[in-house]
Amino acid sequence: MKIAVVGATGLVGGVMLQVLAERGFGDAEVVPAASPKSVGKEIEFAGRKLKVVSVDEAIASRPDYALFSAGASASRQYAPRFAEVGTTVVDNSSAWRKEPQIPLVVPEINFDVVAPTDRIIANPNCSTIQMVLAIYKLHELYKIKRIVVSTYQSVTGTGMKAIRQLEAEEQGREAERAYPYQIHRNLFPHGGDWLPDGYTTEEQKLVDETRKILRSPDIQVSATVARVPVVGGHSESINLEFNEEYDLGRVKVALTSTPGLILCDIPSENIYPMPITAHGRDEVFVGRVRRDPSQPRSLNLWVVADNLRKGAATNAVQILQQLIATR
């Protein structure tokens, strides 16, 4: 089997290679591809050295699968070219997520939308993945009417430049800025690009992608994104309003039985999820599960996941595993 990793020298691309090795692909023929400035570099995969090639060279090698984490413009340019040579692409960018004909997949929830003929499959946004994994069984039980979500997103979601900015500020050094403001000892309610209505692209993704994955276009979603000085994972405060009355005990049973999710909720012992809990893990962690006394049929949750793993690389590799198992 031949697998290309496009964007292999980036933050998510590196984690994709790590997860591939962890999940049994260590013996596969892996073709790392990146931008021209990285071509010729050596990277390590499963104990061996691989040379980075250009994206054109990767296409010419006609891989069976390609995992993309190279940004939306690169995905729009190159994913169709891979598809033309018979490669199935799993794309981690925002390029294809809103396209009606492109499956947007969290394997535990909706892999059934993938058809044998699909050659491009979209990986959702990191904050969307952890939220929908935490709520999809609750939606099946009680039908979600409205979601109010505030995210507290790690600097790793922005990439290496943001990590370097945070580290430099912690050490009192100057560094190139990924953000318009200092992030050390600070946070700001801004992730993504501004939209005309005052929301951001990161917030709009939570609206559009949640509706598509849950196949529920009528769910109302109100999102606020904040960037926090954390390395390790994204956290989310989620308020759900259901169409039907719910039972709190049944909610916790549903969460406990959700594949890939860990209920971490013993308030009397100060047990609740944190980014440090999720760092380096593939699971989504849920805690602070409690009824909202201010609104009928409403529930509060706190959800945490490693945005580089389940929020990006792991979800993509899980899609790959499902593709192999079903084709």
Q: What are the residue ranges of helices labelled H in 153-299?
A: 160-170, 201-213, 248-256, 275-278
Q: Containing domain of residue 37, as a range?
A: 2-124+312-326
pTM value surpassing 0.75: yes
Percent of residues, the chain, with pLDDT higher than 90: 99
Long-range CB contacts (< 8 A, 24+ apart) of 23-30? Answer: 23/317, 23/321, 25/1, 25/317, 28/1, 28/2, 28/3, 29/1, 29/2, 29/3, 29/63, 30/2, 30/3, 30/4, 30/5
Q: 172 and 260: one domain?
A: yes
Question: Above 90 in pLDDT, residue 327?
Answer: no
Q: 246 and 319: one domain?
A: no
Q: 112 and 135: one domain?
A: no
Q: 44 and 95: one domain?
A: yes
Q: 25 and 113: one domain?
A: yes
User: Which pLDDT belongs to residue 107?
Assistant: 98
- CATH number of the domain bearing residue 160: 3.30.360.10
Quick check: 16 and 316 in contact, CB under 8 A?
yes
Per the structure, how many domains does the chain have?
2
- Interatomic CA distance for residues 254 and 13, integer angstroms: 33
User: Which pLDDT belongs to residue 193?
Assistant: 96
- Interatomic CA distance for residues 180 and 202, integer angstroms: 16
User: Which pLDDT belongs to residue 290?
Assistant: 98
Q: Which residues are annotated as catalytic?
A: 126, 234
What is the arithmetic mean of pLDDT over 234-246? 98
User: Which pLDDT belongs to residue 120?
Assistant: 98
Structure tokens at 208: 């559009």
Per-residue confidence band for 289, with pLDDT thresholds at 50, 70 and 90: very high
Q: 234 and 142: one domain?
A: yes
Spatial neighbors of 294 by CB under 8 A, at least 6 apart, are none
Q: 87 and 201: one domain?
A: no
- CATH number of the domain bearing residue 9: 3.40.50.720
Encode pLDDT of 159-191 as tens digits.
999 999 999 999 999 989 999 999 999 999 999
Q: 100 and 178: one domain?
A: no
Q: 165 and 137: one domain?
A: yes
User: Which pLDDT belongs to residue 122?
Assistant: 98
Q: 215 and 302: one domain?
A: yes
Q: How many residues does the chain have?
A: 327
Q: 196 and 287: one domain?
A: yes
Number of other residues whose CB lies within 10 A of the CB of residue 245: 8
What is the arithmetic mean of pLDDT over 230-235? 96
Q: 62 and 183: one domain?
A: no
Encode pLDDT of 59-113 as tens digits.
999 999 999 999 999 999 999 999 999 999 999 999 999 999 999 999 999 999 9
